[in-house]
Copies of this chain bind each other. A is one copy, B any other.
């Protein structure tokens, strides 16, 4: 997790630094509906490479937005889940959803 002193002074820039990438935003969108396995994320995020997906998840875990859960089921597997801090981002996704809809209505 980045220390407070290392964050940009501007709050918008802070958000951009944390999630200002196509894949991170789409990962959050995917995790809104519940925890997901890597394979599920890869299927939903058409075009993402394994490397970028892994790096994005890893940096989101570091930043406290995503939890990595090891499930002791048969077969054991890993799922990713939004933390409470990650869930607090949902209003941003919601305004993005509204704006995307508005934009398309203007075409």
* A88 CB contact (under 8 Å) in B7, B16, B102: B102
Chain A: interface residue total (CB-CB under 8 A): 40
Q: Which residues of B contact A12 (CB under 8 A)?
A: 25-26, 29, 93, 96-97, 100
Q: Which residues of B contact A107 (CB under 8 A)?
A: 1-4, 7
A91:B99 contact, CB within 8 angstroms: yes
Chain A, interface SS category: helix
A14-B88 contact, Cβ under 8 Å, with A3-B107, A4-B107 = no
How far is the CB of A52 from the nearest CB of chain B, in Å? Answer: 13
How far is the CB of A55 from the nearest CB of chain B, in Å? Answer: 15
Name A1-44 residues within 8 Å CB distance of B.
1-4, 7, 10-18, 20-22, 25-26, 29
* A21 CB contact (under 8 Å) in B22, B29, B91, B103: B22
Does residue A49 face the partner (Cβ distance < 8 Å to B)? no
B11:A26 contact, CB within 8 angstroms: no
